[in-house]
């Protein structure tokens, strides 16, 4: 049941925190970057709903919540996304040293970039499959 509860819990907090972020007093104008971040959050929210629905559906069918292949796919995707995220941070730090960039923008872009890299690597590995490396 924990595996079904966690995505719903995270989705609820995404809605609450995004709502609090949008209704901050003193925010007179929104930049294009804020709209991009809201769009990315909406995409992750929709993906979370899809994953939670899939887990609930599999639970009702009596299938196991997590099998060995899904664990291996997640582990391989995490390893690849960690490696690629290091390069993302190197690029962002290089940009920050040559261009004046707000630190909040830098961190938020890095965090969202890491999430996007993980999702892309998970989708590719999930579709391609894992070769048994011996």
7 with 56, same domain?
yes
74 with 59, same domain?
no
55-107, pLDDT tens digit by residue?
788 788 887 767 788 888 889 999 999 999 999 999 999 988 888 878 888 88
- Spell 11-42 as b/e; 16+ CB within 10 A means b: beeeeeeeeeeeeeeeeeeeeeeeeebeeebe
112 with 84, same domain?
yes
38 with 85, same domain?
no
Range of the domain at 27: 1-65
pLDDT reported for residue 22 = 66
């Amino acid at each position: 049941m924990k595996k079904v509860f966690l995505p719903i819990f995270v989705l609820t907090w995404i809605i609450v925190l995004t709502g609090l972020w949008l209704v901050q007093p003193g925010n007179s104008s929104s930049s294009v970057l804020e709209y991009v971040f809201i769009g990315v959050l909406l995409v992750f929210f929709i993906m979370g709903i899809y994953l939670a629905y899939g887990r609930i559906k599999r639970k009702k069918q009596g299938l196991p919540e997590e099998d060995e292949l899904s664990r291996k796919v997640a582990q391989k995707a995490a390893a690849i996304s960690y490696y690629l995220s290091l390069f993302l941070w190197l690029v962002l730090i290089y940009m920050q040293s040559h261009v004046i960039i707000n630190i909040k923008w830098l961190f938020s872009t890095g965090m969202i970039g890491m999430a996007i890299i993980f999702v892309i690597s998970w989708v590719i590995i999930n579709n391609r499959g894992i070769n048994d490396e011996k």
